[in-house]
Amino acid sequence: MSTLLIVEDNEMNRDMLTRRLARRGYGIAHAENGQEAVDYVKGQSVDLILMDVSLPVLDGLQATRLIKADPGTSGIPIIVITANATTEDRTKAFEAGCDDYQTKPVDLDELLAKLSKYLPSEPGKAANA
């Protein structure tokens, strides 16, 4: 089972993503700010990070830069999830090191397709169904 780290400070958004992805067989971990995410991946195995941009303590782009700069965590795919949908916002996210970009509100089918790009195929995984 692949483990996703959902980095989201909005409890409603975090819970919605958790329920929808857990039902599809993903293991879920949480962080409520960028610093928690950076600290979490240093000590726990994570297969992919869903990173909000507007976060307290350390924003999502700063956290992405730190994760991608660390040789121990640089290989973890990061999909930025944000309401910021301008070309400039996308450019900033990719410059920070994110691997993909998903706008809010989250289209689940679109997100599942993105997850399947970065995660290995697993028997019974709904993302491959």
Q: What is the mean pLDDT of each run of 10 residues along the chain (129 residues)?
A: 95 95 96 97 96 95 98 97 89 96 93 94 44
Angle, CA 12 vertex, CA 9 and CA 17 arms, to 5°: 90
pTM of the model as a whole: 0.91
Report the pLDDT value the prediction gives residue 126, as an integer from 0 to 100. 43
Which residue in the block uniquely carries the two structure tokens 């971990």? 29
Report the pLDDT value the prediction gives residue 85, as an integer from 0 to 100. 80
Report the pLDDT value the prediction gives residue 86, as an integer from 0 to 100. 87
From residue 6, alpha-carbon distances to 123, 124, 129 in Å are 23, 22, 22
Tell me, yes or no, whether 85 lies in a domain.
yes
Residue 35 is part of a domain; what is its CATH number?
A: 3.40.50.2300
Q: How many CB atoms lie within 10 A of CB 39?
A: 14
Report the pLDDT value the prediction gives residue 121, as an integer from 0 to 100. 66
Tell me, yes or no, whether 101 lies in a domain.
yes
Tell me, yes or no, whether 128 lies in a domain.
no
For 5-47, the DSSP string reads EEE-S-HHHHHHHHHHHHTTT-EEEEESSHHHHHHHHHHS--S
Tell me, yes or no, whether 12 lies in a domain.
yes
Residue-range definition of the domain harbouring residue 88: 3-117
Tell me, yes or no, whether 127 lies in a domain.
no
How far apart are the C-alpha atoms of 56 and 71, rounded to whole Å? 25
Tell me, yes or no, whether 129 lies in a domain.
no
Tell me, yes or no, whether 97 lies in a domain.
yes
